[in-house]
Amino acid sequence: MILLAIETSCDETAISIIKRARGKQVRFEVLSHKVLSQIDLHAQYGGVFPMLAKREHAKAITQLIAEALGEAELLVERTNTFHLPHAKRKKLETLLEREPEMLQAMNTLFEGIQKPLVDAIAVTEGPGLEPALWIGITAAQALRTAWDIPIYPINHMEGHVMASILQEKDGLYELQDIEFPACALLISGGHTEIVRIAKLRSYTVIGKTRDDAVGEAFDKAARMMDLPYPGGPEISRLAEYARKEGLVVRDDLRLPRPMLHSGDLNFSCSGLKTAVLTRIQKNKPLDDITRRMLALEFENAITDVIVAKVKQAMYETRAKSLIVGGGVSANTHIRFALQELATAEGFTLYIPDRKLSTDNALMIASTGLMHLDVGEEPRAKLAARGSWSIEES
């Protein structure tokens, strides 16, 4: 059983190909894992523009699929001349009528190679930037049209959950056997939510942000501090530096801990952003020390709120496992604070390998395989879903 996965929900074009191992458990070998980041391009503009992201995905995706198939040793070049049957060609033309370059690249791919031994396609259907998602979905549909491979649409947030419970063992990846109920803390550029997981495929959102996502707050605060996009790693780097130097945050730079005592599991990050702006305006131009103190205080403020909300969620749901996912889970300080909480409270923490914490297609591939395992059916009709709750996935 070989599965090809496509992820294009934001600014990474990613393709993975996996092969299921024998046995009951979801275990697989990674045949190819490719992530093409657009970060350098978006950094010039200080953020991700959906139409620009779409254009870049469209330019890159067909070539990336070909490279992944090549790496997986599934690419067999044709020796004969071949043209797709007329009906399939027409269908492809309609599918890609707004993307002539992608149509041409796809036709070249189909005419140059034989149908690969791929049994299923998993593609991110949402949530994310709609124009960007559309390219991944359309690429999946193009492969299905030419090669008759079924498509499994995947929720990006469920993908982040899966990435966190994957474990590498003897050259294979497997889904760990975790204890339920579990809670998931999903913190990325577009989302911040706490999800109760009764079992896999059974999700309830029990807390979320009222405004900006945690990653978005990192990115916006960084931008105000004249740091490049994406801001999360930049702020984290400065904060770690400040900790090593033993910097003590000046009183005038202290920040609020929004919603810390709200009594519920919700977050709000936009007030924090405004507070950062006020501190910056009072200290213009920012010197290096002030910038480091502000980065430290910002990271501490976010971490304090996250830790308090997670502690409450774990208590209220009586969960034994905490799954942390999304790009912000790469943050060293947050990882450390959650590990300390897990040790103190006696629950197990599942946090992704750093290379799987930001967007990639292995998370989509493993989710696809899990769907197949629990008997989900492939879907004929697909649509880019800008917002799509994990609850309805």
How would DSSP label each residue in 28-51?
EEEEEEEEEE-HHHHHTTTS--HH
Of 83 and 355, which CB lies nearer to ligand KG4 in the complex structure? Answer: 355
Of 62 and 188, which CB lies nearer to Zn ion in the complex structure? Answer: 188
Q: Is 10 in the site for ligand KG4 (CB under 6 A)?
A: yes
CB 349 within 8 A of CB 148: no
Reading the block at residue 67, the tokens are 């490279």
Restricted to residues 127-166, the positions that interact with ligand KG4 (CB under 6 A) are none
Cβ at position 301, least distance to ligand KG4 in Å:
13
CA distances from 242 to 157, 223, 247, 294, 331 (A): 32, 19, 5, 9, 15
Using the rule CB under 5 A, which residue among 62, 107, 138, 188 binds Zn ion?
188
12-20/2-7 β-pairing: antiparallel
Cβ at position 239, least distance to ligand KG4 in Å:
9
Using the rule CB under 5 A, which residue among 359, 366, 369, 389 binds Zn ion?
359
How would DSSP label each residue in 144-191?
HHHH---EEEEEHHHHHHHHHHEEEETTEEEE----SSEEEEEE-SS-
CA distances from 143 to 4, 81, 218, 320 (A): 10, 19, 37, 41
Q: Which does 116 bind (CB under 5 to 8 A by kind): ligand KG4, Zn ion, none?
A: none
Using the rule CB under 6 A, which residue among 110, 218, 347, 388 binds ligand KG4?
218
Restricted to residues 307-366, the positions that interact with ligand KG4 (CB under 6 A) are 326-328, 330-331, 358-359
Cβ at position 375, least distance to ligand KG4 in Å:
28
Binding segment for ligand KG4 (CB under 6 A), chosen from 79-87, 129-137, 188-196, 369-377, is: 188-196
Residue in this structure with the two tokens 């979801």, named with its chain if needed:
26
Using the rule CB under 6 A, which residue among 232, 258, 352, 368 binds ligand KG4?
232
Residue 206 belongs to what H/E stretch?
strand 202-208
CA distances from 224 to 82, 101, 254 (A): 55, 38, 16
Interface ranges with ligand KG4 (CB under 6 A): 10, 188-190, 215-216, 218-219, 230-233, 236, 326-328, 330-331, 358-359
Interface ranges with Zn ion (CB under 5 A): 188, 359
